[in-house]
């Protein structure tokens, strides 16, 4: 029986500026997004009946009903085919904490779309159409390359020649509600991002990040003070730059080398055994996860 597996990476907002708000309430954003080698995994296979199973350290946080983005992705892709494609068994290995600002659910949905499109012989147009109906983050996760996202997330442009970054991800295990974070914003009309360096390398990226922001970081810390602790811990353990991703509570630290990142992750995990801590690398422009 044909089985297809797909990596579902963490989505990291290196910078996130809130630049306005539409009349319908959706916020306008500008964000530089990258994706990590560490993440969840989706496996799909033709089956006699539809099924969905979850394993991994964060399996208990995954709903198994219609609210799950993996199942929504399956159903939306299937609904676009005539006749509808047959039943499938979907397995999710959940290694990323849920609702933590790193796009885990959206990345799982994107990996599901890509796997099922291959299994069912559906082209890129059908896959992209299904992704657009699942939220702004899913098309980004389908691209899974360094990109700039603008508007409400629908305007996506891949970034050329962006380097891979060694990174440590830390989540102190506190729940953060994205709507609550946006409601706590003191200003919704902030300056946009500066242009990226022409030839980005680690030093120029760090210099660029130093003059950018995550406008959700301060309101998130008022709701969940352990975020500030996580950022401080990353800096104390040698991160050249530390910031919260998305609406939190996951924070990232950028390190100069793989060894430095691994050492920092080991030290933080030993000091904070209840936290989610992992060292990883982001993918560079033009790089595939199977490279």
CA–CA gap between residue 2 and residue 47 (Å, rounded): 10
Q: Per the structure block, which two tokens stand in for 257? A: 């080398």
Residue that has been written with the tokens 């950028």 in this structure: 254
Active site residues: 11, 137
CA–CA gap between residue 206 and residue 245 (Å, rounded): 16
Query: Is the previous residue joined to 83 through a cis bond, with omega within 30 degrees of 0?
Result: yes
CB 31 within 8 A of CB 13: yes
Return all residues near 76 (Cβ < 8 A) that are at least 6 apart. 130, 133, 134
Residue that has been written with the tokens 């702004």 in this structure: 136
- Number of residues written out for the chain: 291
- Other C-beta atoms closer than 10 Å to the C-beta of 160 total 12
Upper half-sphere CA count for residue 191 (Cβ side, 13 Å): 6
């Amino acid at each position: 029986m044909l089985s297809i597996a797909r990596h579902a990476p963490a989505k990291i907002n290196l910078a996130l500026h809130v630049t306005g708000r539409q009349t319908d309430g959706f916020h306008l954003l500008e964000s530089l997004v990258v994706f990590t080698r560490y993440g969840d995994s989706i496996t799909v296979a033709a089956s006699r009946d539809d099924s969905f199973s979850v394993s991994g350290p964060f399996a208990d946080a995954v709903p198994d009903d219609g609210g799950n983005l993996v199942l929504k992705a399956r159903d939306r892709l299937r609904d676009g085919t005539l006749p509808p494609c047959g039943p499938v068994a979907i397995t999710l290995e959940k290694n990323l904490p849920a609702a933590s600002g790193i796009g885990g659910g959206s990345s799982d949905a994107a990996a599901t779309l890509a796997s099922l499109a291959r299994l069912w012989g559906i082209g890129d147009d059908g896959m992209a159409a299904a992704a657009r109906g699942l939220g702004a983050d899913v098309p980004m996760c389908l691209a899974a390359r360094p990109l700039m996202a603008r508007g409400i997330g629908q305007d996506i442009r891949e970034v050329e020649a962006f380097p891979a970054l060694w990174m440590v991800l830390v989540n102190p295990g506190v729940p953060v509600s994205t709507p609550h974070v946006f409601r706590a914003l003191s200003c919704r009309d902030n300056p946009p991002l500066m242009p990226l360096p022409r030839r980005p390398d680690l030093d120029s990226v760090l210099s660029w990040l130093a003059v950018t922001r995550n406008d959700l970081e301060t309101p998130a810390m008022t709701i969940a003070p352990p975020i500030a602790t996580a950022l401080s811990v990353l800096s104390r353990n040698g991160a050249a730059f530390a910031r919260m991703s998305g609406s939190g509570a996951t924070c990232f630290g950028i390190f100069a080398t793989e060894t430095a990142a691994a050492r920092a992750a080991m030290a933080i995990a030993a000091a904070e055994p209840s936290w989610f801590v992992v060292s990883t690398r982001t993918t560079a422009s033009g790089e595939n996860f199977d490279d």
